């Protein structure tokens, strides 16, 4: 309907100029017919014709009278029987477009019983004047017929245009948008079904890009749902075997401790290796169980000396065999508002990652930036840096470990605990010269 309305509006805007042009052409055609009638009279003997011939010439030309003036002298008059009626003069020699439009409106909308007196020259280079008298009612009838034809033609064009535009809109926009909507509804019902992912049509416009973005988003959501389902299954499985696994590991740890104290060097060496392997297994189970909890306990905040926590955590992160230099640049008395146990877990995870990245030798530097309401702790190591393919997933569980025996839970747990304190853990930079992490925590009192 809007298309029809717009086309009809455009037709209305161009109708009056078109009707004015039609009126001018109609008047010109009557002047041309009058010229032919005048020529016919000129060739007659003594420039005189009978009344019957005169009436026939006037009727054929569609005029009421014609007069030719040469050098100000009237030479020929051809007229029908006298009719008393007013007339309006139209000078075709200097008729402007605006005047023509006004006269057209006057003819169409203000009908009057009158004649039109048309003045023009006999030819392009002639100075002779021809004076033609026509009935305005004949012109009005022709204008009305022209208007009806224009209206019908415009209506046909509007309907055809509307149908074509409607079809184009259906094909180009409506159907693709409907397919997008159906694809989203289908994916909402069965996100795990690969068939519910939309297949992009390959279009190069905005709809094509929307299809590609939707397909990408659906694939990412499917992957995320799959991972969460696997994590949920893992948590459920670990929870079920937690008790039995703990008993098994406890028994194995007792045996391995006895083997580690054996007098036989070979048995003692194997026992020590077994102890380390069991310790790693216990740590992995504890990390998995701890992360698998629905919610970490709310932190019991108190003032904690950050420098002391760093020293304690470094002792546990670095065994006797490692040769890591620790530069604790945090002054005594720098207090943070935190849960002591949870803060220790955060710092231990960060330090253990740094120590494992550097190996047996390297340097770990700790610095604290005391701000107005928070403390920003930076830990910089001299390790080889974090691989680029792991940086985007660094804080996601089970996906960012650089070691074969790593769980990928340390950073995820550290960030979760830090955010519960109103802080955060972020990667500042990493590269061949080392890696820098920043831990931000609320500032304590003191």
Whether 207 contacts 173, CB under 8 Å: yes
pLDDT at 41 over 60: yes
Q: What is the pLDDT of residues 279-330, one digit of tens each?
A: 666 666 666 666 555 456 788 999 999 999 999 888 888 765 678 899 999 9
Half-sphere exposure at residue 125, Cβ-oriented, CA atoms within 13 angstroms: 0
Instruction: Return d(Cα 169, Cα 355) in angstroms, integer.
Output: 63
> Given this model, what pLDDT does residue 82 score?
60
Q: What is the pLDDT of residues 109-146, one digit of tens each?
A: 877 778 888 888 887 777 888 888 888 888 899 999 99
Q: Could you tell me which residue, 234 or 96, shows the higher pLDDT?
A: 96
pLDDT at 240 over 90: no
Whether 134 contacts 88, CB under 8 Å: no
**Which of 203-207, 220-224, 263-267 is the least confident region?**
263-267
> Considering the chain, what percentage of its residues have pLDDT values greater than 90?
17
User: Which two three-digit tokens encode residue 139?
Assistant: 């012109």
Instruction: Return d(Cα 221, Cα 49) in angstroms, integer.
Output: 99
Q: What is the pLDDT of residues 65-100, one digit of tens each?
A: 888 888 777 777 777 666 666 788 888 888 888 888
Instruction: Return d(Cα 324, Cα 138) in angstroms, integer.
Output: 112
Most confident residue range from 99-103, 317-321, 422-426 = 422-426
Quick one: average pLDDT of 354-378? 91
Q: Enumerate residues 6+ apart whose C-beta is below 8 A from 5.
A: none
C-beta pairs of 390-397 under 8 Å, 24+ apart in sequence? 391/427, 391/430, 394/427, 395/425, 397/231, 397/291
Quick one: average pLDDT of 333-361? 90
Instruction: Return d(Cα 108, Cα 290) in angstroms, integer.
Output: 91
User: Which two three-digit tokens encode residue 42?
Assistant: 């000129």
> Given this model, what pLDDT does residue 239 score?
65
- By DSSP bridging, strand 374-381 and strand 302-305 are unpaired
> Given this model, what pLDDT does residue 238 score?
67
> Considering the chain, what percentage of its residues have pLDDT values greater than 70?
85
Q: Enumerate residues 6+ apart whose C-beta is below 8 A from 346.
A: 413, 414, 417, 418, 425, 439
Most confident residue range from 40-44, 292-296, 403-407, 419-423 = 419-423
Q: What is the pLDDT of residues 162-201, one digit of tens each?
A: 788 888 888 888 888 888 888 888 888 888 888 888 888 8
């Amino acid at each position: 309907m809007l298309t029809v309305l717009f086309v009809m509006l455009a037709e209305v805007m161009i109708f009056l100029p078109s009707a004015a042009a039609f009126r001018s052409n109609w008047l010109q055609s009557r002047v041309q017919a009058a010229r032919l009638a005048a020529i016919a009279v000129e060739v007659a003997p003594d420039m005189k014709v009978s009344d019957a011939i005169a009436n026939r010439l006037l009727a054929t030309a569609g005029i009421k009278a014609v007069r030719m003036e040469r050098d100000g002298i009237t030479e020929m008059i051809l007229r029908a029987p006298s009719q008393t009626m007013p007339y309006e003069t139209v000078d075709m020699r200097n008729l402007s477009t605006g005047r023509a439009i006004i006269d057209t409106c006057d003819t169409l909308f203000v009908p009057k019983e009158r004649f039109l007196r048309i003045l023009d020259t006999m030819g392009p280079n002639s100075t002779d004047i021809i004076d033609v008298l026509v009935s305005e009612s004949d012109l009005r009838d022709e204008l009305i017929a022209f208007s009806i034809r224009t209206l019908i033609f415009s209506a046909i064009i509007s309907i055809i245009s509307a149908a074509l535009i409607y079809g184009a809109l259906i094909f180009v926009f409506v159907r693709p948008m409907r397919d997008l909507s159906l694809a989203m509804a289908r994916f909402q019902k069965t996100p795990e079904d690969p068939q519910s992912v939309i297949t992009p049509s390959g279009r190069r416009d905005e709809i094509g890009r929307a299809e590609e973005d939707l397909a990408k988003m659906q694939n990412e959501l499917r992957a995320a749902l799959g991972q969460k389902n696997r994590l949920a299954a893992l948590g459920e499985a670990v929870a079920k075997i937690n008790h039995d696994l703990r008993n098994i590991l406890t028994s194995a740890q007792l045996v391995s401790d006895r083997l580690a104290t054996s007098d036989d060097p070979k048995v003692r060496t194997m026992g020590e290796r077994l102890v380390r392997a069991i310790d790693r297994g216990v740590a992995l189970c504890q990390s998995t169980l701890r992360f698998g909890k629905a919610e970490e306990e709310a932190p019991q905040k108190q003032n904690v000396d950050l420098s002391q926590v760093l020293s304690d955590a470094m002792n546990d992160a670095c065994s006797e065999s490692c040769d890591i230099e620790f530069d604790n640049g945090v002054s005594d008395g720098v207090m943070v508002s935190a849960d002591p146990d949870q803060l220790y877990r955060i710092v231990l995870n960060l330090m253990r990652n740094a120590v494992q990245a550097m190996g047996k030798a390297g340097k770990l530097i700790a610095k604290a930036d005391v701000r107005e309401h928070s403390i920003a702790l930076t830990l910089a190591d001299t390790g080889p840096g974090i691989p680029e393919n792991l940086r985007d997933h660094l804080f996601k569980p089970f996906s960012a470990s650089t070691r074969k025996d790593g769980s990928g839970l340390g950073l995820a747990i550290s960030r979760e605990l830090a955010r519960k304190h109103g802080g955060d853990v972020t990667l500042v930079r990493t590269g061949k010269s080392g890696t820098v992490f920043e831990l931000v925590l609320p500032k304590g009192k003191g």
